[in-house]
Amino acid sequence: MKKLFNNILIPVNFSAPFHEVINKAVDIAKLYQCEIYLLHVNAAPFFSSKNITAANNSGEQNVPGHVEPGIEPNHFSKYIMELTGETIPVKNVFLTGAWHKAIDDCIIQNKIDLVLIGANAFIGGKRKLNLNPDKIAAAANIPVVIVPEDRKLVGLHSIVIPVTDFLPVRKLIYAVYLAKEYHSTIILLGIMNGITEDKVRYYVKRSQELILDMDDFAIETVFVNGENVAKEVYDFAIQKFVDLVILNPGAQTMMPGLFSSLRGNRIQKYSIPPVLAVNTLPGFYEMV
Q: Cβ(42)–Cβ(67) under 8 Å?
A: yes
pLDDT digits (tens, 9 = 90+) for 68-81: 444 455 666 676 77
Quick count: other Cβ atoms within 10 Å of Cβ 65?
17
Domains of the chain, CATH where assigned = 7-112 (3.40.50.620), 158-277 (3.40.50.620)
pLDDT score, position 55: 39
Q: How many residues does the chain have?
A: 288
Report mean pLDDT in 10-residue bins for the chain, 288 residues. Answer: 83 66 82 87 55 36 36 63 72 86 94 87 65 90 86 86 95 92 93 95 96 90 96 92 93 80 77 89 50
pTM here is 0.83
Q: Where are the alpha helices (DSSP H) in the chain?
A: 18-32, 75-84, 99-110, 133-140, 169-182, 197-214, 229-239, 260-263
Distance CA 168, CA 211 (A): 11
